[in-house]
Copies of this chain bind each other. A is one copy, B any other.
Amino acid sequence: MELKRKKVSIYDIARVLNISGSTVSRALQDHPAISTEMKALVKKTAKEMNYKPNTMAVNLKRGKCNTIGVIVPNINRNFFASAIEGIEEEVNKMGYDVLICQSQDQYEKEKKVIGSLSQGKVDGVIASIAAGTRDYAHFNSLEEYGIPLVLFDRVAEGINAGTVTVDDYRGAYRVVKHLCAQGKRRIFHYAGFQHVSVWRNRYKGYVDALKEYGIEPEKEWVFVGNITREEGEATARKILRMKNRPDALFCTSDFVALGAMLEFLKNGVRIPEEMAICGFANEPFDELLRPSLSSVDQFSKKMGQQAARMLLDRLNGESWVNIILDPELIVRESSGMITS
């Protein structure tokens, strides 16, 4: 079977109807100067001839491709998948498509991807910065090509972009206040690398909340590392080896909290009585764990929708704003049930 057939263009229609190409073009676009009968005729013929406009030609002519590029560390994480879901739904309403790119949390890949998108593949970009990125020049390069940028969740200073974040500081602050309200005082923190905005802000919230209770976290209270289940397990093991254990552990990621909790449970630590645990992100699995895991909801899908709307607004000439969503503390079994 033949794979390629000749495509029908507006000129094929024009020839059949003995009219000009522009009349066909205009009729198809409901141009006011075209008579109703002509419009009907052209549309009918177009349909019969199985005509489809050639997007590439339209794009070239209009200098616009109705496509939004999305760069995330990895699609296969609920947080990002949900955000993309929101983005897709929102931009779709306005006739835009979504081009997906994964940075794999690597700086080099992120740079490469941005270079590729700069070639007029997209009208705008929505991104969440790779964990491995410490230099942001590549993001600013988008501007040189007239491609507006919205960052969500993982943002950074010095990038000309709109931003959508949750108030990570406040989320962390609430977690720690909540733990204190449970009577916990020796609260450790598993933090992410501090060059990443969200992890830095959560760390600050942690410190400030403790400060209100007159507590100054010691150096050994804070761990810094990758955001993985394995690191959580390793950290729990380290803690188990300490003579002076914490009574609570606040992890900047649900995956770390998961690993830590399972490791603690395996070693007979009672949660939350001996060790309260809180994570961050409110991953779907949190509520399925026993004990269920307290966390902070970031409204990922909503973040995606907001980012999308912000970018579309920008494409319509509006200027940047920064949206900060208020995160919600979700108290579950792993951090006790005393309501503050």
A31 an interface residue at 8 Å Cβ cutoff?
no
A148 an interface residue at 8 Å Cβ cutoff?
yes
- Contact of A99 with B146 at beta-carbon distance under 8 Å, contacts A55-B121, A285-B284 already known: no
User: Once the chains are docked, how many angstroms separate the CA of A288 from the CA of B97?
Assistant: 36
Whether the Cβ atoms of B54 and A56 lie closer than 8 Å is no
A136 an interface residue at 8 Å Cβ cutoff?
no
Instruction: Indicate with 1 or 0, residue by residue over A127-166, a CB within 8 angstroms of chain B CB atoms.
Output: 0000000000000000111101000000000001000000
User: Once the chains are docked, how many angstroms separate the CA of A76 from the CA of B305?
Assistant: 14
Q: Which B residues lie within 8 Å of A4 (CB)?
A: 146
User: Once the chains are docked, how many angstroms separate the CA of A220 from the CA of B148?
Assistant: 58
List which A59-94 residues lie within 8 A (CB) of chain B: 59-60, 63, 65, 67, 74-78, 81-82, 84-85, 88-89
Extra inter-chain contacts (15) besides given A57-B60, A60-B60, A285-B288, CB under 8 Å = A1-B160, A4-B146, A7-B120, A52-B118, A52-B120, A53-B119, A75-B81, A76-B82, A78-B78, A88-B102, A97-B100, A97-B121, A98-B100, A285-B285, A288-B289
A38 an interface residue at 8 Å Cβ cutoff?
no
Whether the Cβ atoms of B99 and A98 lie closer than 8 Å is yes
Q: Which B residues lie within 8 Å of A33 (CB)?
A: none
Q: Which B residues lie within 8 Å of A144 (CB)?
A: 5, 50
User: Once the chains are docked, how many angstroms separate the CA of A5 from the CA of B118?
Assistant: 13
- Contact of A119 with B52 at beta-carbon distance under 8 Å, contacts A60-B57, A101-B88 already known: yes
A290 an interface residue at 8 Å Cβ cutoff?
yes
Whether the Cβ atoms of B285 and A119 lie closer than 8 Å is no
Chain copies in the assembly?
2
A242 an interface residue at 8 Å Cβ cutoff?
no
The closest CB in chain B to the CB of A77 belongs to: B81
Binding site for B on A (CB under 8 A): 1, 3-5, 7, 50, 52-57, 59-60, 63, 65, 67, 74-78, 81-82, 84-85, 88-89, 97-102, 116, 118-121, 143-146, 148, 160, 258, 284-285, 288-290, 301
> Can you list 18 A-B pairs, Cβ within 8 angstroms, ordered by A?
A1-B143, A7-B145, A7-B146, A50-B144, A52-B120, A54-B120, A55-B121, A56-B59, A56-B63, A60-B60, A67-B99, A75-B75, A75-B81, A76-B78, A76-B301, A88-B100, A88-B101, A290-B290
User: Once the chains are docked, how many angstroms separate the CA of A99 from the CA of B66?
Assistant: 12
In the assembled complex, the CB of A292 is this many whole angstroms from the nearest CB of chain B, namely 11
Q: Which B residues lie within 8 Å of A78 (CB)?
A: 76, 78
User: Once the chains are docked, how many angstroms separate the CA of A131 from the CA of B289?
Assistant: 30
Partner of A75, one of B85, B101, B121: B85
In the assembled complex, the CB of A254 is this many whole angstroms from the nearest CB of chain B, namely 11
User: Once the chains are docked, how many angstroms separate the CA of A1 from the CA of B101?
Assistant: 28
Q: Which 6 A-B pairs have the closest CB atoms?
A: A56-B59, A56-B60, A4-B146, A76-B85, A81-B81, A55-B119
Whether the Cβ atoms of A75 and B65 lie closer than 8 Å is no
Q: Which B residues lie within 8 Å of A81 (CB)?
A: 75-77, 81
